[in-house]
A and B are shown apart, each in its own frame.
Chain A
């Protein structure tokens, strides 16, 4: 071969190898892109949807759940009720740290089974100290342990919520009844809100949630417990798919000691109102100015 032909041949070989390398390396990205649903990618923001468009989306999501998880579910979107502003209070004297609430949350909200996720973390605290640094969530012994008290923490539905402030795309906002929600189909998964929340209340879907078909809770809310897609953030919604229909949050129903009090703070006859008016309640990290709707108190 003469020199120019050799150079051409080399270039051809090089180009072929190069193209092969590009194709091979790019394959996973291409596959991921091919699996995206165009309907979903081009969807409008939740607040811009007409009722018909929303209904269409709910049916599509039901069909997708059926396809992926093999279960018939009902996904609804119950709006906030007029004249309702939710509040939650927790009696630290009564709480025994059994984590039944965390377990109930796990089931009610269709959490990933592999990671045993829950929106509630229960801290075991040292008697006589509110320093969380001296508390632990990894306790593994009979409860209640002597010299300890227990403090469950979940989303405080802050009225001045740092998570809502930082979200660059308004994928998370505060509803009229005080609940901070996430649209899982709008979130871009930047996790800025997770960095901003001072109460470790947000979770990210590091993978597509794994849940056996027979354990899926089929009674689902669009903004709450429907099975979340991979790559988005989620959080406690005070079980709005239940509470907006007059039921109580799953964590409250599961609590064996009656430590939890939930209700409409605008209703003068509600139990939550009574607690707020008669007990010395406090909120966590009040100095940060987040104005939580989740209160703690001590009561015999």
Chain B
């Protein structure tokens, strides 16, 4: 049965989607309530930061970016990593992956929401946000890498909204999607996914005054870690979806994703080793930050626990992924994904941003430890992201599996 698509039917579609988003089992309500509560705690903390200024954080003129930008960077990786479902599904015609690829697109959307959230809370003057809007503000493009980031992140968001929205609406109408309305965008989004993480790496990589970041290896490492954290998160997500009984699919997608991770975890460890060698064997300015990060310096070691936890988790995930058990036993694979996700979070977050500032450009050692306010805001934004993801997947799957149709 095909229904005709009129503006009215689209509105009806939207209404049904909204209704669907707010009804469910008590488990669904409980989950949504907890997330909303955390998001509200974050909102409140952010309000205090706006009123009293960013002195409520532990940031300083020495360490001027911290937890927020760390989470932002990691979030971009997560968004880019979702493309590891799109590539097999569309470039290699992996039919099993095709059945679940919508989940990757919805994850990309939610991750970008998280990234934008972290940018907003890091700004001293969010009231002047419009200054960075092309056309009405003063967009310092193409010189400032940050303007590139604005373009690629928002572009990626729009691309994925279009692709996911179009495919779902056609499913709802019971029609076969027309290739020319989505396929070009899918290919564009693959290229775009690579670009968001490359441009984000260039933000840091292009700063000559920060030897820790000023390495050509930064962008490749960003991509490698994105292709760890993205697939790791998706594997867990697929298992949750399977457990919820809303979608049945074969083991193909999970097998493909864990294969990808088996390559990228090693690649990442290899590049880390290469960077460590350059820094420690050469010595000099570049090594000061690396030494501080891994071993502490002049009696200051705030980052040492972060980075060693990250290293242990990254190595553990590599070992787990290569154990034959992880191919047969889901729990081992999930443990590997958990380790990989957390390991990258620590390494690509605090372990990457803060050492860029310690020691400072005049070689002062000022440390940074996030305050409770910063953690509250951070938790709030992740809760918001999970809210978006939950609703998107709930609605998405209902439409995808034909439970809701015109």
Interface residues of A, Cβ cutoff 8 Å to B: 18, 21-22, 24-33, 36, 41, 45, 121, 123, 132-133, 135-137, 153, 162, 165-171, 186-192, 194-200, 202-208, 229-233, 285, 288-290
Given contacts A28-B47, A188-B131, A195-B210, contact A200 B61 (CB under 8 A): yes
Q: Which residues of A contact B53 (CB under 8 A)?
A: 205-208, 230-231
- Distance (whole angstroms) from the CB of B371 to the closest CB of chain A: 12
**A61 to B237, alpha carbons, bound, how many Å?**
53
* Complex CA–CA separation, A203 to B54 (angstroms): 13
Given contact pairs A195-B204, A199-B362, enumerate 15 new A-B contacts (beta carbons under 8 Å). A133-B288, A167-B140, A168-B150, A169-B131, A169-B138, A186-B128, A188-B129, A188-B132, A197-B361, A198-B209, A200-B61, A204-B54, A204-B59, A205-B53, A207-B53
Chain A residue contacts of B54, Cβ below 8 A: 204, 206-207, 231
Which of B51, B52, B145, B288 contacts A166 (CB under 8 A)?
Answer: B145
Q: Check if B207 sits within 8 Å of A123, measured CB to CB.
A: no
Residues B65 and A191 in contact, CB atoms below 8 Å apart? yes
Query: B360: which A residues are within 8 A, CB to CB?
Result: 200
Query: Is B122 in the interface zone, CB < 8 Å from A?
Result: yes
**Number of B interface residues in the complex (CB < 8 A):** 58
In the assembled complex, the CB of A174 is this many whole angstroms from the nearest CB of chain B, namely 13
B40 within 8 A of A: yes
A and B contact pairs by CB, cutoff 8 A, 14 listed: A21-B37, A28-B50, A29-B43, A132-B363, A170-B138, A187-B124, A189-B125, A195-B204, A196-B207, A199-B362, A200-B361, A205-B124, A207-B55, A232-B125
Please name all residues of chain A whose beta carbon is closer than 8 Å to the beta carbon of B36 when the two chains form the complex. 18, 21
Give the chain A neighbours of B145 by CB distance below 8 A: 166
Q: Which residues of the partner chain B approach A28 to less than 8 Å between Cβ atoms?
A: 44, 46-48, 50-51
Interface-central residue, B36, B55, B124, B137, by most chain A CB under 10 Å: B124
Least Cβ distance of A13 to chain B in Å?
Answer: 13
Rounded to whole Å, the gap between the CB of B66 and the closest CB of chain A is 10
Query: B123 on the interface (CB 8 Å rule)?
Result: yes
Does B359 count as interface, using CB distance less than 8 angstroms?
yes
Q: Which residues of A contact B359 (CB under 8 A)?
A: 133
* Contact (Cβ within 8 A) A162 B131: no
What residues of chain B have their CB less than 8 Å away from a CB belonging to chain A? 36-37, 40-41, 43-44, 46-48, 50-55, 57, 59-62, 64-65, 122-129, 131-132, 137-140, 143-147, 150, 203-204, 207-210, 285, 288, 356-357, 359-364
Given A192-B146, A207-B52, answer yes or no on A168-B140 (Cβ-Cβ < 8 Å): yes
Which of A31, A137, A205, A206 counts the most B-chain CB atoms under 10 A from its CB? A206
Give B49's nearest chain A residue, CB to CB.
Answer: A28
A172 to B129: give the CA distance in the assembly, Å: 16
B148 smallest CB distance to A (angstroms): 9
A25 engages B41 (CB within 8 Å): yes
Q: Which residues of A contact B61 (CB under 8 A)?
A: 194, 200, 202-204
Report if A166-B43 is in contact (Cβ < 8 Å); known contacts: A132-B362, A191-B124, A231-B125: no
Whether the Cβ atoms of A31 and B40 lie closer than 8 Å is: no
Which residues of chain B are within 8 angstroms of A231 by Cβ–Cβ distance?
A: 53-54, 123-125
A153 x B362 contact (CB < 8 A): yes
The answer to whether B43 and A25 have CB atoms under 8 Å apart is yes
Q: Report the minimum CB–CB distance from A236 to chain B (whole Å).
A: 13
| B44–A25 touching, CB < 8 Å | yes
How many angstroms between the C-alpha atoms of A290 and B207 in the bound complex? 11
- Chain A residues contacting B65 (CB-CB under 8 Å) are 191, 195
**C-alpha spacing A135/B360, complex, angstroms:** 12
- Which residues does chain B contribute within 8 Å of A190, judged by CB atoms? 122-124, 146
- Given A123-B362, A205-B53, residue A285 in contact with residue B209 (CB < 8 A): yes
Q: Report chain A residues within 8 Å CB of B64.
A: 191, 194-195, 204
Given contacts A22-B40, A188-B124, A188-B125, contact A197 B363 (CB under 8 A): no
A233 to B54, CA, bound (A): 12
Residues of chain A with a CB closer than 8 A to B138's CB: 45, 169-171, 186
